[in-house]
Chain A
């Protein structure tokens, strides 16, 4: 059993979904401080629902969610964010009527991440700081979505398919930035990603989700080498980029 103080997020036997439909069933997951975790799985297996449940946006009908040992199962979403849960949504969800800079500062909280460090991580955003949220390219939106969540100075960052739909060169750049967040800044990261190879090379641990439950847990390194398991759960043969 891990030292409780080190455990940031603890999901126990969680059952959650939308309305009457259950998406996650009996799911347990623990994330420790400083850890980096990849959440893999085919489409529709409940990966995004896992994040939405952690943030309190789904209907939870069983189990519990704890944050640093405190029960937050019934806590309002905005309070979870203030406790240190950062969430980068799959659809990026940039505020269109706010400028880039406003998107960054609108909910910013004090800490090591500020406009200066965000612009250092994503220099492109500094160039576009006056642009409105709806005038950005896909890659810029993704950078902004990540930077915006960093600005609330979270202890844990949930990244939902940050590399989805981006040009290869931007994927490389973003992946490098995410890697730096984990290694240099020590940000705890949970990463959902379709590109299993990228996700596994950026993280130390991995879980595979199937039909709303975790069916496989491994060290990222090992899973990356275990093409049989990857093929079985994700149906893909890894190609080396």
Chain B
């Protein structure tokens, strides 16, 4: 019993870390730049297809595709921010929602057109496959790898935002755009880089997700819901909040499917409603 509980905690946490990678970029762009980007999970999906294509068509090793998934999603994010989303920063919430949901539909149709509607198979390298036992708990190598990657990225992000000048410039631009400009900050460029970074992280999350949850064109919608739950439960603009919310969500989802399978995914929505009733701004949100 204890062993299975520890196993669920581990698997749930690993799943949570996947959700964290997919959503942390949105927490930043939605919370800091006030842009409702429902197409965020589409960037995750793009990263997934980059990995699949590089592995299947060009025979790249899995690990080498991860930076590529990050870079390509980041570049596509930067281009879309520059030519489409930037114009909408001052638009109403509804306009932003409509535009980005349109992008979701287009990304789904585009992915189905290029890669088909089937699940994309990927074969993980040996050193990331299989599992080993620690104190009776079954530890899947790939899930451990996910956790390590997510922890490293969390530290990099929190450190980058809190301790670098670029991080301070992002916070300054978010606090007061006009004053930041008045002091010489190219706010448009700062937001463009931030947006691009967020899209890149989603792409990395998408690439890492395939081995755990599969990949098909439905990804952009299926994970949009999870990503929005993570951001709202964690609180806007809080990296740490996203981390905690994603962990909770992952563990609840795993536990729910294991102990009360008849409830299915219902448990996580129940958790979300409960937390938001208790704290409407999310666990670590300020507004």
- Within the complex, the shortest CB–CB distance from B163 to chain A, in Å, comes to 10
Return the CB mask of A41-75 against B: 1 if under 8 Å, else 0: 00000000000000101000000000000000000
A149 touches B183 (CB 8 A): yes
Contact B181 A93 (CB under 8 A): no
B 147-179 to A, binary, CB cutoff 8 A, 1 in contact else 0:
000000000000000000100110110111011
CB-CB under 8 A from A152, the residues of chain B are 183-184
By a CB distance below 8 angstroms, the chain B residues around A93 are: 176, 178-179
Shortest A190–chain B CB gap in Å is 14
Residues 179-218 of B contacting A (Cβ, < 8 Å): 179-187
Chain A residues contacting B165 (CB-CB under 8 Å) are: 105-106
CB closest chain-B residue, reference A133 = B175
- Stretch of A28-36, A95-103, A200-208 at the chain-chain interface: A95-103
Report B-chain residues with C-beta under 8 Å of the C-beta of A97. 171, 174-175
Tell me whether chain B's interface is mostly helix, strand or loop, or mixed.
helix
B186 touching A78 by the CB < 8 A rule? yes
Please indicate the chain B residues that have their CB under 8 angstroms from the CB of A113 in the complex: none
Q: Does A11 belong to the interface (CB within 8 Å)?
A: no
Task: Judge whether B172 and A95 touch: CB under 8 Å.
Answer: yes
B175 and A98 contacting across the interface, CB-CB below 8 Å: yes
Q: Are A102 and B168 in contact (CB under 8 A)?
A: yes
For B171, list chain A residues within 8 Å (CB): 95, 97-98
Complex-state Cα separation, A95 to B184, whole angstroms = 14
A 97-121 binary contact with B (CB < 8 Å = 1; else 0): 1100011011101000000000000
Interface residue tally of chain B, by bracket? 10 to 19
In the bound complex, how far is the Cα of B168 from the Cα of A140, in angstroms?
A: 20
- Write the nearest CB–CB distance from A48 to chain B, whole angstroms: 12
* CA distance in complex: A78, B182 (Å): 6
Question: How far is B185's CA from A133's CA once the two chains are assembled, in angstroms?
Answer: 18
Q: How far is the CA of A78 from the CA of B172 in the complex (A)?
A: 14
Instruction: Tell me if A38 is interfacial: C-beta within 8 Å of chain B.
Output: no
- In the assembled complex, the CB of A92 is this many whole angstroms from the nearest CB of chain B, namely 9
A152 to B182, CA, bound (A): 10
Segment of A13-21, A81-89, A162-170, A229-237 in the binding face: A81-89
Seed contacts A107-B184, A149-B183; 7 additional CB < 8 Å A-B pairs: A78-B186, A89-B179, A93-B178, A95-B171, A97-B175, A106-B185, A133-B175
Q: List 25 A-B contacts (CB under 8 A).
A: A55-B182, A57-B178, A57-B181, A76-B181, A77-B181, A78-B181, A78-B182, A78-B185, A78-B187, A79-B184, A81-B181, A87-B182, A89-B179, A89-B182, A93-B178, A95-B171, A95-B180, A97-B175, A102-B168, A105-B165, A105-B168, A106-B172, A106-B183, A109-B184, A148-B183
Q: Which 3 A-B pairs give the minimum distances between C-beta atoms?
A: A81-B184, A107-B183, A93-B179
